[in-house]
A and B are shown apart, each in its own frame.
Chain A
């Protein structure tokens, strides 16, 4: 039996893995609890948050439906969502699985994880899976803190149901 550990298990300590997992879960939880503004605190001020279809990603097409090049741009988008945009009241529930560390450069950790977003409409209670996909993250570890440097959310379907106003 080959007992050589996979390379990625050497990449990270369990306490570091806990920080990373907590960061990914925290992002999802603040959205699901309608505290969407708080995701901007989890993104480095010069960080990037992108939501892109697999259809474009697989074809090396650069278009993303959401592309924020800084935490400020993400805050602007959330402000627009709160004050300007009109949409039917709805909530998300994120289901996250398979958080794996795929690479490491010093305190910069690359991860992949799966997400599923279930949307519930306030008015009629309709429940629908609206997104599945893979998060491709680059995370900066500080002593007891982690922040996203890059969050690339690659969603599987080329189709978006109605609209995307609450971030993933």
Chain B
């Protein structure tokens, strides 16, 4: 009989391996909530455009913690834990709303939009009976406030006072956001995708440029992105954050193109669109970038796919499920024509995306295939074995190795 192996030891190879128990273990999941989601990381909570006016609020999550994003009377944006300071009831139960006060229905404790307690029902008691103790101080019983950072219309929050300043946390990857989000945003709508896998199966996916043209047949076939097009990767110095870009219309039909063609399932000459208007895009920024996929550790993606723009917020729901919330947007000054283009190209991504439906399918199939969680590990050596090998080439898993590096630091693994 084989001796028991210790299942909680990281493989000796380090960042070029991820043991399968890391995806399936409920104790690991609980530790992630503490060390990562409530730890020293920044988490996307929404767009400023979602709470444009004083009194507006939006309910969302950081990890499994319910959070409210508000715009207070003074115009400032706040992120608050959506949990009454009295007995823990959920204060906001609508996805979006507008209110003068946030009001807990259980015992009528009400809060200002900055989270300060304004009133607790019957705090003085009635006819000299009951009520809160004399030393009760409203100042100590507000909703828990999170630290926030606003950047190009995006709002991020962190539980920790000593999380690194947001812009230095972003590092060089900030350029990928600034280049796209250069004026006030306008929300076009939402799409929430429920994926039955571990959240890290999804997190690895947009950091994985190796799979893009292989799994996603649609991409390559219609010339939106091929391995032979000019492309690259930008990783911040800590390796937490990354973006990939591709420039359409830059490839040459040379020997390299033909050799690529024979390697990939995705170049399929049978597939021709009757109506290719969905692929017509405008180079709004003038830098030729047709696709940019930007991923921030641990739970945020920003995409530009032609003229379609969206954020993706990754919400873990237990070790075997995640909700991926896609928020599609344009700009306040968009013409009706460009809005129409953005909406048409929304057909390409998201839950029903003609390009990308595969991602959810492979996350789920992977999760089921590793589900026993007792043995095995992934092999992450495309482009090399360490944090720098692979450079900025798309045929590299460098960004995934860098994810595991940061993850292990946060988890003490």
Chain A positions within 8 Å of B, measured between CB atoms, are 51, 53, 55-56, 59, 61-70, 72-73, 75-77, 79-80, 83-88, 158-165
Q: How distant is the Cα of A156 from the Cα of B69 in the complex, in angstroms?
A: 25
CB atoms of B275 and A72 under 8 A apart: yes
Q: Which residues of B contact A158 (CB under 8 A)?
A: 95, 190, 192
- The answer to whether B271 touches A84 (Cβ under 8 A) is yes
Q: Are B358 and A70 in contact (CB under 8 A)?
A: no
Asked if B273 and A67 sit within 8 Å, CB to CB, the answer is: no
Query: Shortest beta-carbon distance, B313 to chain A, in Å?
Result: 13
Find A65's partner among B217, B278, B350 (CB 8 Å cutoff).
B350
B-chain residues with CB within 8 Å of residue A59 when the two chains form the complex: 96, 189
Q: Tell me the nearest residue of chain B to A85, going by C-beta.
A: B357
B274 close to A67 (CB less than 8 A): no
Task: Give 26 CB contacts A-B under 8 Å.
Answer: A51-B352, A56-B189, A56-B190, A59-B189, A61-B187, A61-B188, A62-B189, A64-B343, A64-B346, A68-B347, A72-B275, A76-B273, A77-B347, A79-B273, A80-B218, A80-B354, A84-B216, A85-B217, A88-B361, A158-B190, A158-B192, A160-B194, A161-B194, A162-B195, A163-B357, A164-B357
Q: A80-B354, A88-B364, A159-B194 are in contact. List 12 more A-B contacts (CB 8 A).
A: A63-B191, A65-B352, A67-B344, A68-B347, A72-B274, A76-B273, A83-B217, A84-B217, A85-B218, A160-B352, A163-B357, A165-B357
Bound Cα distance A73, B192 (Å): 24
Interface of chain B residues 104 through 133 with chain A (CB within 8 A): none
Contact B193–A159 (Cβ < 8 Å): yes
Report yes or no: A79 in contact with B347, Cβ–Cβ below 8 A: no
The digit string for B269-302, where 1 denotes a CB below 8 A from any CB of A, is 0110111001000000000000000000000000
Identify B215's interface contact among A67, A80, A86, CB under 8 A: A86
Which residues from B are CB-within-8-Å of A88? Answer: 361, 364-365
Q: A88-B365, A159-B323 are in contact. Are A75 and B274 (CB under 8 A)?
A: yes
- Interface SS of chain B: mixed
B206–chain A nearest beta-carbon distance, Å: 16
The reply to whether B190 and A164 contact each other, CB–CB distance below 8 Å, is no
Give the nearest-CB partner of B271 in chain A.
A83
Chain B residues whose CB sits within 8 angstroms of the CB of A159 once the complex forms: 192-194, 323
Q: List B160-209 residues whose CB lies under 8 Å from chain A.
A: 187-196
Give the A-B contact count at a CB cut-off of 8 A.
Answer: 120
CA A163 – CA B357 in complex, angstroms? Answer: 6
Q: How far is the CA of A145 from the CA of B364 in the complex (A)?
A: 43
The CA of A110 and the CA of B192, in the complex, are separated in Å by 29
B residues near A, CB below 8 A? 95-96, 187-196, 215-218, 221, 268, 270-271, 273-275, 278, 323, 328, 339, 343-344, 346-347, 350-352, 354, 357-358, 360-362, 364-365
Residues of chain A within 8 A (CB-CB) of B191 are 53, 63, 65, 160
B174 → chain A closest CB, angstroms: 27
- Cβ contacts under 8 Å, B221 to chain A: 84
A164–B354 Cα distance when bound, in Å, is 10
A61 to B329, CA, bound (A): 10
User: Is B188 in contact with A62, judged by CB distance below 8 angstroms?
Assistant: yes
Closest chain-B Cβ to A63's Cβ sits at a distance in Å of 2
On chain B, the residues within 8 Å of A165 by CB distance are: 352, 357
| In the complex with contacts A162-B364, A165-B352, A63-B274 CB distance below 8 A | no
Pairwise interchain contact A66-B352, C-beta atoms closer than 8 A: yes
Name the residue of chain A whose CB is nearest to the CB of B357: A163
Interface pair A162/B360, CB less than 8 Å apart: yes
Tell whether, in the assembled complex, residue A87 and residue B357 are in contact, meaning their CB atoms are under 8 Å apart.
yes
CB distance from B308 to the nearest CB of A (A): 10
* B288 CB → nearest A CB, Å: 25
- Closest chain-B Cβ to A59's Cβ sits at a distance in Å of 8
Q: How far is the CB of B241 from chain A (nearest CB, A)?
A: 27
User: Which residues of B lie under 8 Å from residue A162 when comparing CB positions?
Assistant: 193-196, 351, 360-361, 364
**A87 with B361, Cβ < 8 A, contacts A67-B343, A73-B275, A80-B218 known:** yes
Closest to A77 in B: B354
Closest chain B CB from A41 CB (angstroms)? 14
